Chains A and B, each alone.
Chain A
Amino acid sequence: MLDAILFERAGVPAIAVVTEPFRATGEAMATSWGMPGYRFLEVPHPIANLGDKELDERADRLVEQVVALLAGASR
């Protein structure tokens, strides 16, 4: 999350991906950096115990949203 915020501050479009239970933490981090409402993507939790196939499937489902957010520059 912090990496994405720092990239954005440096003028580089970025997307943070956060698992769902960490939404409030992502929002709090964005607020502490003076970027309340900063948009990030949420994915289901957990991910650490997934196999390669399941991880690839999740990543595939995410790609379009990542591209849309990066291209949108609507933040």
Chain B
Amino acid sequence: MSSAAEPDPASLIEAYFERGWTDGLPVVPPTEKSVAEMLAGAGLRRDEILGEIPGRNTVVVAEKVAINAALAGCRPEYMPVVAAAVRGLCHPDFAYHGPASSTGGSAMVLIVNGPIARRLGLNSGNNAFGQGWRPNATIGRAVRLTMMNVMQTRPGLLDRAVLGNPGKYSFCFAENEDDHPWEPLHVARGLSPARSAVTIYASNSLYQVYNQLAAEPEPLLVCFADALSNLGLPNVKGFNQALLVVAGEHTEILRQSGWSRGQVQSFLIEHTRRRVADLKRAARLPGEVTPADETAWRYFFEKPDDILLVCAGGRAGSWSACLPGWGNKWTKAVTTAIGEIP
């Protein structure tokens, strides 16, 4: 941190990079003042414990997270979202070590719901996963820098991503709660619509699903099911979690159909499957193919809530997205209410 004699910002940026405290992009050198403002933005004490990562012998203290939020370029008013996301990261259900360290190289996907998303100007519309919106770019970045600098999750050491993915820089967006076919995600997960919340979800890939001809839910959802049942799916043992981001014209098809969230989830459970014979031929299951395997199906999801349905993206266009999860036997998405500052 800079002292009374402020060093040149450009040399500080280089110094932070050389010490391995960045994600490779230039950071905003924090100051005593900016860190204090970040803490005040979330009403946090410096020494307040946001959580711990038992598998890493690490206690996560608010000041360290605030420093990383400043490094990431967050504004102080973003800090409540960052703090809630870090609390989610530390939740036992998220089982941090797996998605953070696995060769699969998961992005920590942050889905923001409720009034705070609009207040901060988080993008939920066109290019929701892309560039151009400061809260989207910096909130997720603050979480990743916290993982690197506080939880020591550095590439090649305790982050063993084989390829990683670009979402590891930042992957944060708001749900589009207008014209929604169903209740928003945080409400489906037990919070009141008036609350704000952030859901953290680990995914190692993003696959965009295209369908311009579908006018009813069934053909559209068959495409989702197909995308979620490819032979290279990490987990073919049936304890998956998946995030489906329904966008544009697809949202409208589902809204007009009147299908409930539960109906969509049930349809997807029923149709996301492969024949055991296919899985064995592809060496995704061990053993010789038997005649019975040709007609035996393996289903990839167990429970409706294992399929997280979210709406985001621009209104025009026939694209949605599937984001396979890290596997809910070990890691589950966690939704954390965002503390509002009085």
Contacts and interface: CB of A to CB of B under 8 A. Distances in A.
B156 A32 contact: no
B55 A28 contact: no
Interface in A1-49: 2, 22, 24-25, 28-29, 32-34
Interface in B45-61: 55-58
Contact of B160 (A2, A25, A32): A25
A34 B58 CA distance: 11
B158 A22 contact: no
Interface in B73-104: 97, 101
A29 B160 contact: no
Contacts of B97: 2
B55 A2 contact: yes
B101 A32 contact: no
Contacts of B58: 32
B158 A28 contact: yes
Grouping DSSP codes into helix (H, G, I), strand (E, B) and loop, the B interface class, with mixed when no group exceeds half, is loop
A33 B56 CA distance: 7
Interface residues of A, number: 9
Contacts of B157: 24-25, 28
A25 B57 contact: no
Contact of A33 (B57, B101, B160): B57
B56 A25 contact: no
A2 to B, nearest CB: 6
Interface residues of B, number: 12
A25 B101 contact: yes
Contacts of B56: 32
A28 B152 contact: yes
Nearest to A22: B160
A36 to B, nearest CB: 13
B57 A24 contact: no
B67 to A, nearest CB: 19
Contacts of B154: 28
Nearest to B101: A25
Nearest to B97: A2
Interface in B133-161: 152, 154, 156-158, 160
B155 to A, nearest CB: 11
Contacts of B152: 28, 32
Contacts of B57: 32-34
A35 B158 CA distance: 15
A28 B160 CA distance: 12
Contacts of A33: 57
Nearest to B152: A32
A13 B133 CA distance: 53
Interface in B9-29: none
A55 to B, nearest CB: 13
Given A24-B157, A25-B157, 19 more contacts: A2-B55, A2-B97, A22-B160, A24-B156, A25-B101, A25-B158, A25-B160, A28-B152, A28-B154, A28-B157, A28-B158, A29-B158, A32-B56, A32-B57, A32-B58, A32-B152, A32-B158, A33-B57, A34-B57
Interface of B: 55-58, 97, 101, 152, 154, 156-158, 160
Top-5 shortest CB links A-B: A28-B157, A28-B158, A33-B57, A32-B57, A24-B157
14 contacts: A2-B97, A22-B160, A25-B157, A25-B158, A25-B160, A28-B152, A28-B154, A28-B157, A28-B158, A29-B158, A32-B56, A32-B57, A32-B152, A33-B57
Interface of A: 2, 22, 24-25, 28-29, 32-34
